Amino acid sequence: MMFMISVDIKKSYKFRVKGCPTTTLTELEKPKRVAMLPEKIPGIKPKLKIKVDEKVKIGDPLFFDKKNPKLTFLSPGAGKISNITYGKRRVIREIEIRLDDQETFAEFPTLTLSDLKTITREDLIDSMLNGGMWPYIRSLPYRMIADPNDFPKNIIVTIENNEPFHPNPDVYLIPNLEYFKMGMEILKKLAEHSVVGSDLSHPLIREQLKNTVTHHYSGYYPAEDPGVMLYHIKTSDTQNLAWYISGQDVIQIGKFFKHGRYPIERIVTLGGSLAIEKKHFKTRIGLPVKLLTEGRVQSNEFIRYIAGGVFRGYSVVKDSYLGFYETALNLLSEEEKEETFGFLRFGYSRPSFSKTFLSSMNQSELKYDCGLHGEERACVNCGYCAKVCPVDILPQFTLKCIVADEVEEALSHGLLDCVECGICSYTCPSKIELCSVFRKAKMEYYKEINS
């Protein structure tokens, strides 16, 4: 019997970003090199387990977290460690592996559905830590890797990610339902409830979710976010802790236990207005950005390569790699174009939250760019940010508390509920980077309470 709660997110904003990938799936050729980017994994202090020129198999440990040495990160390729680069303060930026033609795998114990009835939660967690599966489970409200010592009420599984643009469940999930089911059975041992946020439109997905607590959501980005879901289902602030995982990562866990090998396959999208081939690609973890973009981008523009979605992603250079969690690359224009006689135009094609431009009447997709279109000014108390915040924060007041260093006050204004979606920053006519300020404040608070 499926138990369901309907969460209707009224606040948020319908973005009409041009460049949505189609559901066509193309297999990419095998890369010559892959890499892990420890710097992009939040909250860990990585320590290397390998050296340059060392040989590794797929699934051999590359590094671990100094704060929790059981938390290991495994190699997404078999071959030779060809390079290790460091950033500021010797932070490990990139571990690059030159791949062998014939790759070999480290072997791990397998599990069947009937084994799951008898294995203890502790043994299961140990297997996930050893097999590099644990980092897929992250926790709210700080969005770090989950602490295996916690026992949360909910693990929230996100099937759709509506932030422009991410893989579509019709492409990544439907062919992998068997693994998804196995992954879901494993999650059920880790928390009181595994909760799936989904629009449940697909009958095959509905079938797999029988006996799972399923919360239906409706609304625009970030309605499907686990933090938004938690905000609307929790009954008190003491329930701020929940774990979450993406649908594609549930499949990874299912594959790992089924085959006893570290799964490296990834379905990745290429999207954004400057991508020529906007679609899904079957490839692997640690993919070189160049392999995905070569011949697939418009060459006459200054392009920003964004790993992840257009609001929460980060810029990458062409010669880099996609991070461990990333399943999307979006390409937007870097240029902030000055329009000739712009003051005479009515902005029919100009993306904006403000109704000042005629684009509010234009229902077609619009070409977004990375420009701020103005400089930061003082808050004018327009209230746009509060109008769109899906977790009912009043961002303008929370910001004032943070600027005045009144942390307790910011917390009472809901700082920890912030899901870092970035919509408030987008809508702000004063160009205040509200979301970055909130993310930084959350991080500082996390460090303070964990020091």
Residue 209 CB, nearest approach to ligand SF4 (Å): 27
Is the Cβ of residue 159 or residue 389 nearer to ligand SF4 in the bound state? 389
Is the Cβ of residue 84 or residue 421 nearer to ligand SF4 in the bound state? 421
CA 33 to each of CA 61, 101, 268, 292: distance values in angstroms, whole numbers, following the listed order: 17, 11, 17, 13
Q: To 10 degrees, what angle do helices 247-259 and 177-187 make?
A: 90
Is the Cβ of residue 380 or residue 403 nearer to ligand SF4 in the bound state? 380
Residue 163 CB, nearest approach to ligand SF4 (Å): 11
- Helices (H), ranges, 218-364: 226-233, 247-259, 289-293
CA gap 250, 157 in Å, rounded: 8
Is the Cβ of residue 184 or residue 385 nearer to ligand SF4 in the bound state? 385
Q: Under the phi-then-psi rule, with left for phi > 0, alpha for psi from -120 to 50, and beta for the rest, what region is 286?
A: left
Residue 338 CB, nearest approach to ligand SF4 (Å): 24
Residue 438 CB, nearest approach to ligand SF4 (Å): 5
Is the Cβ of residue 166 or residue 181 nearer to ligand SF4 in the bound state? 166
Residue 7 CB, nearest approach to ligand SF4 (Å): 15
Is the Cβ of residue 247 or residue 395 nearer to ligand SF4 in the bound state? 395
Is the Cβ of residue 17 or residue 124 nearer to ligand SF4 in the bound state? 17
Cα-atom radius of gyration of the chain, to the nearest Å? 22
Read off φ and ψ for residue 264, nearest 5 degrees: -110, -5
Residue 422 CB, nearest approach to ligand SF4 (Å): 6
CA gap 17, 291 in Å, rounded: 24
Residue 369: Cβ within 10 Å count: 18
Is the Cβ of residue 289 or residue 435 nearer to ligand SF4 in the bound state? 435
Cβ(38)–Cβ(92) under 8 Å? yes
CA gap 71, 134 in Å, rounded: 7
Is the Cβ of residue 231 or residue 256 nearer to ligand SF4 in the bound state? 231
Binding site for ligand SF4 (CB under 6 A): 379-385, 388-391, 393, 395-396, 418-424, 427-430, 432, 434-435, 438
Cβ(16)–Cβ(275) under 8 Å? no
Q: Which residues contact 440 (CB under 8 A, 6 or more apart)?
A: none
Residue 225 CB, nearest approach to ligand SF4 (Å): 9
Is the Cβ of residue 125 or residue 434 nearer to ligand SF4 in the bound state? 434
Residue 269 CB, nearest approach to ligand SF4 (Å): 23
Residue 357 CB, nearest approach to ligand SF4 (Å): 16
Residue 355: Cβ within 10 Å count: 9
- Burial class (CB within 10 angstroms; exposed 0-12, middle 13-18, buried 19+) of 387: middle
Is the Cβ of residue 162 or residue 283 nearer to ligand SF4 in the bound state? 162
Residue 276 CB, nearest approach to ligand SF4 (Å): 32
Type of residue numbered 26:
T
Q: Which residues contact 78 (CB under 8 A, 6 or more apart)?
A: 56, 57, 58, 97, 99, 100, 103, 104, 105
Residue 397 CB, nearest approach to ligand SF4 (Å): 9
CA gap 107, 265 in Å, rounded: 17
Residue 12 CB, nearest approach to ligand SF4 (Å): 8
Is the Cβ of residue 129 or residue 441 nearer to ligand SF4 in the bound state? 441
Question: Residue 279: which of 26, 17, 16 has the closest Cα?
Answer: 26
Give the torsion sign (CA, 233, 235, 237, 243): negative
Question: Residue 21: which of 281, 270, 247, 248 has the closest Cα?
Answer: 270
